[in-house]
């Protein structure tokens, strides 16, 4: 597996990581834990060294899963987790990045992951009630204690990124980015390039939409997050099929699948971008990893971008309340 370096601080990871959220949370029925451990082991065997989790996934159960699965490979992998929310009665209960809460969250994550140091610690969402400088100082102290190696932000706006980076240099920013959500291209990516910060796109396959799996007749379980996402209403799924059809055409030309084209497109944007597609199926894992071998020429990339520029995506990526938590 090709390796990439996230930003200027030297964190080397596999070109594709594995987002583990869906193994415990968010997308309907939770898969069997033993099967997910086997899948994570297979990912390691196929060269994946970068694994993403968070305390809120479950809550807590995803970190426990990732910790157990990666215990035999601890010296070979990079584990990223996140803090930033109150968790009450098993549910997210508002942002909280107060120093004492960060310290508690890190202690909990270390225990559940069964590790001595968190490789990459993200603030999951910006807390409007706590200055980012205070957050950075708290993480700096945790680094001095040896509990955290690198840190980052998730879904932060450029001013927050700059302020945080000034106090404690950031290694990575994680935000949604894909062929059907390109907003980071406007301000975030240029800022990260300027400051020497890596970028980790989550939902690089549009929560499965870019694979061609869904259409207007698709149904989602009550516990599936997509059930409340505006882009996954029947009318918007139908309207956005034009994007999938375009991707399928490019895939045929490259003897690839739509998912592989979507991931290869992301990998071609910048050498410091490391997508973290999630899956619960071995077949999908192998398919996704195959994208690393697909190289898009500058002309192909330009043709894809020209096609994407002409498509207007229908529907918001988040319900309004969740969108308010991003980009501060």
Catalytic site residues?
Answer: 57
- Residue 273 half-sphere exposure toward CB, CA atoms < 13 A: 24
Whole-angstrom distance, CA of residue 105 vs CA of residue 275: 25
∠ CA 231-235-241, nearest 5°, is 75
Q: Which of 253, 250, 203 is nearest to 226 (CA)?
A: 203
Q: Position of tokens 């968190």?
A: 118
> Do 7 and 273 touch, CB atoms closer than 8 A?
no
> Do 144 and 127 touch, CB atoms closer than 8 A?
no
Structure-token pair, residue 261: 């084209």
The dihedral of CA 79, 29, 204, 253: what is its sign?
positive
Could you report how far apart the first and last alpha carbons of the chain are, in Å?
35
> Do 229 and 203 touch, CB atoms closer than 8 A?
no
């Amino acid at each position: 597996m090709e390796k990439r370096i996230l930003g200027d601080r030297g964190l080397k990871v596999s070109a594709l990581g594995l987002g583990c959220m869906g193994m415990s949370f968010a997308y309907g029925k939770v898969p069997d834990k033993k099967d997910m451990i086997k899948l994570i082991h297979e990912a390691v065997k196929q060269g994946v060294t970068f694994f993403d989790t968070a305390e809120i996934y479950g809550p807590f159960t995803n970190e426990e899963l990732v910790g157990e699965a990666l215990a035999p490979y601890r010296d070979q992998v990079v584990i990223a987790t996140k803090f930033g929310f109150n968790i009450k009665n098993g549910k997210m209960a508002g942002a909280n990045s107060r120093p004492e809460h960060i310290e508690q969250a890190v202690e909990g994550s270390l225990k559940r992951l069964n590790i001595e140091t968190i490789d990459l610690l993200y603030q999951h969402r910006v807390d409007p009630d706590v200055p980012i400088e205070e957050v950075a100082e708290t993480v700096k102290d945790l680094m001095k204690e040896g509990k955290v190696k690198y840190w980052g932000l998730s879904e932060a706006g450029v001013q927050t990124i700059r302020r945080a980076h000034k106090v404690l240099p950031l290694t990575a920013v994680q935000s949604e980015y894909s062929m059907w959500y390109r907003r980071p291209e406007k301000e975030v990516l240029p800022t990260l390039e300027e400051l020497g910060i890596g970028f980790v796109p989550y939902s690089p396959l549009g929560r499965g939409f870019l694979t061609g799996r869904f259409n207007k007749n698709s149904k989602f379980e009550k516990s599936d997050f997509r059930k409340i996402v505006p882009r996954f209403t029947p009318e918007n799924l139908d309207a956005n099929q034009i994007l999938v059809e375009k991707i399928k055409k490019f895939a045929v030309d490259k003897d690839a699948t739509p998912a592989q084209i979507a991931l290869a497109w992301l990998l071609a944007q910048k050498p410091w971008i490391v997508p973290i597609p999630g899956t619960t199926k071995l077949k999908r894992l192998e398919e996704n990893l195959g994208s690393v071998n697909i190289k898009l020429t500058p002309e192909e990339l330009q043709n894809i971008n020209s096609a994407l520029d002409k498509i207007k995506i229908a529907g918001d990526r988040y319900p309004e309340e969740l969108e308010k938590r991003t980009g501060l």
